[in-house]
Amino acid sequence: MPYEALRPEGAGVGTHIIGRNTTRRGRKVQEAVAAGHNLLLIGDAAATLVDVPDRTVQTVVTSPPYWSLRDYDTADQVGRNEPLPTFIKALVGIFAEVHRALADDGTLWVNIGDSYTSGNRGSRAPDKKNPARAMNVRPPTPEGLKDKDLVGVPWRFALAMQEVGWWLRSDIIWYKPNCQPESVRDRPTRSHEHIFLFSKSERYLYDIDSILGPNGRRLRDMWDINTVGFPGAHFATFPPELVRRCILIGSDKGDYVLDPFLGSGTTAAVAQANDRRFIGCELNPTYIHVVLERLNSE
């Protein structure tokens, strides 16, 4: 189906869908941004972001694929089976393009989870609760690590981002009270993930009063938020509340919010609900249907 035919009526008006084979893609993206329209860019984030003009975006809320955890069934996907250093390098490369597209006082919120080594097993069977976790390939165990080691992916990523110039401003712990049970019996059940707050400059937009913690106190760096599934997505989706906090703190009404790994479109939907514009990149074109339905219905 041509992407134009997917354009929704009503709520989606003003949202342009730009496929990877669109002619004069760069020009179309620039015109859409100049007109203040929303954008859904289909293709690899590194390749599609190049068309977004410099300093367009005020804040970025995103969750890249976790290393060796999911198969998104698309060529060019990051995180499926490449060695760990290649994965980190690919993410840092994509975020270099984000850096260029970000306002000088802009921020980047990255949610990233950890993984255990595969012990050089070549595959992972589906678990009962989550058949999509099956993988028919696994990356090699990173050098220096052993079978059963926790890899420490989030911090390896955060330090690599610091090295190329991002300011690392916060390591927020997202605590999931309703976390998935695990069958392992020799360590605590995992119930948290990291959200790193990066900035492009030393000073940046941070609306401290937009989100307050319990009893009206300043927001702390431990966020208790239940996971929320989204129908039609076989992967972990953001809880809207998590995205809402980042967007309200990091942008003003009318600003552009970006998610280079859009998935089911939570960032776009929350941006829309809070009077922000959005730009989303997604490699797998089938997810764009999910995103459009969501934008229309919410």
Ligand X SMILES: C[S@@+](CC[C@H](N)C(=O)[O-])C[C@H]1O[C@@H](n2cnc3c(N)ncnc32)[C@H](O)[C@@H]1O
Which one of 87, 157, 256, 287 is in contact with ligand X (CB under 6 A)?
Answer: 287
* Options 21-29, 183-191, 236-244, 270-278: segment touching ligand X (CB under 6 A): 236-244
Q: Which of 105, 36, 45 is nearest to 259 (CA)?
A: 45
235 part of the interface to ligand X, by CB under 6 A: yes
| Minimum CB distance to ligand X, residue 266 (Å) | 3
d(CA 65, CA 282): 11
**Which one of 174, 238, 256, 278 is in contact with ligand X (CB under 6 A)?**
238
Token pair listed for 287? 């997810």
Is residue 115 a contact partner of residue 67, using CB atoms and an 8 Å limit?
yes
Across the beta sheet with 256-259, what order do the strands follow? 15-18, 38-42, 277-282, 256-259, 57-62, 102-112, 192-199, 167-175, 222-224
Contacts of 163 (CB under 8 A, 6+ apart): none
**Which of these, 94, 90, 102, lies nearest to 53 by C-alpha position?**
102
Verify binding: residue 279, ligand X, rule CB under 6 A.
Answer: no
Site string for ligand X, 141-160 (x = CB under 6 A): --------------------
283 binds ligand X (CB under 6 A): yes
257 sits near ligand X (criterion: CB under 6 A): no
Among 38, 59, 63, 115, binds ligand X (CB under 6 A): 63
Q: Which residues bind ligand X (CB under 6 A)?
A: 44-45, 63, 65, 72, 74, 76-78, 233, 235-238, 261, 263-264, 266, 281-284, 287
